[in-house]
Chains A and B, each alone.
Chain A
Amino acid sequence: QVHLVESGGGLVNPGGFLRLSCAASGFTFSDYYMSWIRQAPGKGLEWVSYISDSGSTIHYADSVKGRFTISRDNAESALSLLMNSLRVEDTAVYYCARDIGIASAFDIWGQGTMVTVSS
């Protein structure tokens, strides 16, 4: 069974930081591009960042560039998102997702982890 399981969400003050993790199982993690996508409460989906299979290519949405850092550990089948200088508008459910190709469609999604930025 192919699975993605996110963790690390929680309540954090504005200006704070948080590290999200995504554990992959049931497939060869190192063969796939991976992304983080978020969804603010009651809102639509927003792509946040993607990382290539080797980790050599990374891109970010303008809204998080310079504050968030995506990384992966292929030996551990793990994806991470380090979020710094958090803002109230970063409040959302964060999903990790598997890309079917190179910056393509997302065929496997985790259950999501909630990040709340509030004082």
Chain B
Amino acid sequence: EIVLTQSPDFQSVTPKEKVTITCRASQSIGSSLHWYQQKPDQSPKLLIKYASQSISGVPSRFSGSGSGTDFTLTINSLEAEDAATYFCHQSSGLRSTFGGGTKVEI
């Protein structure tokens, strides 16, 4: 099983700050890494697919980068509505796995 390790677990930030969340895979997964945002009592929402590809309707302040084993989600100029938990997800191979999540508090 491919293990995804996210860091940090928790981040307290102020509006307009830049946020960087990392996700490290236990083995190379190419670009098969996706990012989701989950707000309290809501379902997850897809933010970034295949490491860096944008999703229609997602604000441009969200961006992703990386390949192989190391990936980054960046939120530029954080807004209050971005308070949420962020998960990475790998789809390499037959069985998906998720990272443990990063809670962003504003």
Question: Which residues of A line the B interface, CB within 8 A?
Answer: 35, 44-47, 50, 59, 61-62, 95, 100, 103-107, 109-112
For window 62-106 of B, CB contacts with A under 8 Å fall at 87, 89, 91, 94-101
Point out which of A44, A95, A105, A111 has the most chain B C-beta atoms below 10 A from its C-beta. Answer: A105
Instruction: State whether the Cβ of B46 lies closer than 8 Å to any Cβ in chain A.
Output: yes
- Chain B residues with CB under 8 Å of A103's CB are 91, 94, 96
B55 to chain A: closest residue by CB: A107
A105 touching B43, Cβ below 8 Å: no
Contact B50 A105 (CB under 8 A): yes
- Residue of A with least CB distance to B97: A47
Verify B1–A62 contact, CB threshold 8 A: yes
Which A residues lie within 8 Å of B43 (CB)? 95, 109-112
Whether the Cβ atoms of B98 and A59 lie closer than 8 Å is no
* Residues on B facing A (Cβ under 8 Å): 1, 32, 34, 36, 43-46, 49-50, 55, 87, 89, 91, 94-101
The answer to whether residues A59 and B95 also contact, given A95-B43, A109-B43 and a CB cut-off of 8 A, is yes
Whether the pair A59, B94 counts as a contact (CB closer than 8 A) is yes
Q: Can you list 5 pairs linking A and B with CB atoms under 8 Å apart?
A: A44-B100, A103-B94, A104-B34, A105-B34, A105-B46
User: In the complex, which of the residues B1, B36, B44, B100 has the most CB atoms of chain A within 10 Å of its own CB atom?
Assistant: B44
Nearest A residue to B99 by beta-carbon distance? Answer: A44
With A46-B98, A106-B46, A109-B43 already in contact, 13 other A-B pairs whose C-beta atoms are closer than 8 Å = A35-B96, A45-B44, A45-B87, A45-B89, A47-B89, A47-B96, A62-B95, A95-B44, A103-B94, A104-B91, A105-B49, A107-B46, A107-B55
